[in-house]
């Protein structure tokens, strides 16, 4: 089903590449005016240029989601450029190799990663809500992660921030729902963006695929379609929820891949 977002204004953080770029494309194709926000200014400009070359409406806004002044400037500039704000997609993420086990992370890294990955989305939400209220409502989608729902051996700051997005989203849903603002999260499994291809070697990807119950890993376009749905009029009765799009990873008992491997070995003997 095609979603009609004609005339709506959307801010997409992390919009220069990967899931964010796919979201910018699908929202613009649905008729929205898109604010492409990214710490990578040239990348944001390329993304916005791609959309405008296709006859769509987009502008680039270089933004560091760890900088409160830049976040406020993003909301203000978007409202000035397009006449308001209807949607915010909190998609940007900052990662660091030092984000390991709890006892290995220093205080400065905690502050840096929580600032960009949790406080930044909260500040952008704060800046956007008055604009949404003035237009009779709006909607948020926060890109969380299964890491916010399940523990890992590393990425402690990342997991903590993603879990925090669940609380932020529910708070927005409860506090502003009667005024027409909705807020939901998406928790993806492994999505094959260019960054994922660069991060994981093929053997690790095959291992991770065994823990997903689908035949393939996810794509940015699949996530973008879900974002568009959550922002659209078809989702007006959905708020304060977490939409898990993980290829069935969280549906399976933890031992399923290991038991399958044992069965395959037995059959091969």
Return the beta strands (E) in the chain as ranges: 9-13, 33-38, 58-62, 87-90, 138-143, 181-188, 242-245
Q: What is the pTM of this model?
A: 0.93
Where residue 50 falls (left for φ over 0; alpha for ψ -120 to 50; beta otherwise) is alpha
**Mean pLDDT score, 89-110:** 97
Q: What's the pLDDT at 195?
A: 80
Q: What's the pLDDT at 2?
A: 66
Active-site position among 82, 87, 158, 176: 158
pLDDT at 62 over 80: yes
Per-residue pLDDT tens digits for 7-47 = 999 999 999 999 999 999 999 999 999 999 999 999 999 99
Q: At 150, give phi and psi (nearest 5°).
A: -130, 145
SS3 at position 235: helix
Task: For residue 176, indicate whether it is catalytic.
Answer: no
Banded pLDDT at 130 (limits 50, 70, 90): very high
Q: Which domains does the chain have, with CATH numbers?
A: 9-268 (3.40.50.720)
**Mean pLDDT score, 175-185:** 98
């Amino acid at each position: 089903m095609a979603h009609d977002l004609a005339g709506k204004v959307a801010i997409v953080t992390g919009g220069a590449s990967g899931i964010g770029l796919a979201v910018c494309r699908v929202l613009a194709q649905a008729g929205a005016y898109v604010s492409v926000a990214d710490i990578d200014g040239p990348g944001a400009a390329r993304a916005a240029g791609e959309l405008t070359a296709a006859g769509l409406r987009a502008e680039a806004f270089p933004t560091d989601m760890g900088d409160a002044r830049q976040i406020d400037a993003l909301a203000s500039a978007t409202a000035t450029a397009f006449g308001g704000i209807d949607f915010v997609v909190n998609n940007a993420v900052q990662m660091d190799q030092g984000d390991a086990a709890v006892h290995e992370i220093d205080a400065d890294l905690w502050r840096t990663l929580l600032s960009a990955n949790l406080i930044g989305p909260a500040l952008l939400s704060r800046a956007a809500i008055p604009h949404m209220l003035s237009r009779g409502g709006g909607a948020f989608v926060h890109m969380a992660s299964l890491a916010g729902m399940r523990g890992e051996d590393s990425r402690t700051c990342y997991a903590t921030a993603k879990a925090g997005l669940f609380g932020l989203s529910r708070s927005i849903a409860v506090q502003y729902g009667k005024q027409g603002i909705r807020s939901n999260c998406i928790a993806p499994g492994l999505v094959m963006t260019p960054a994922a291809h660069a991060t994981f070697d093929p053997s690790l990807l095959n291992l991770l695929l065994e823990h997903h119950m689908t035949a393939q890993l996810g794509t940015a376009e699949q996530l973008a379609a879900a974002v568009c749905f959550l922002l659209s009029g078809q989702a007006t009765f959905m708020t304060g929820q977490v939409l898990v799009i993980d290829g069935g990873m969280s549906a399976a008992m933890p031992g399923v891949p290991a038991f399958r491997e044992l069965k395959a070995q037995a059959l091969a003997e």
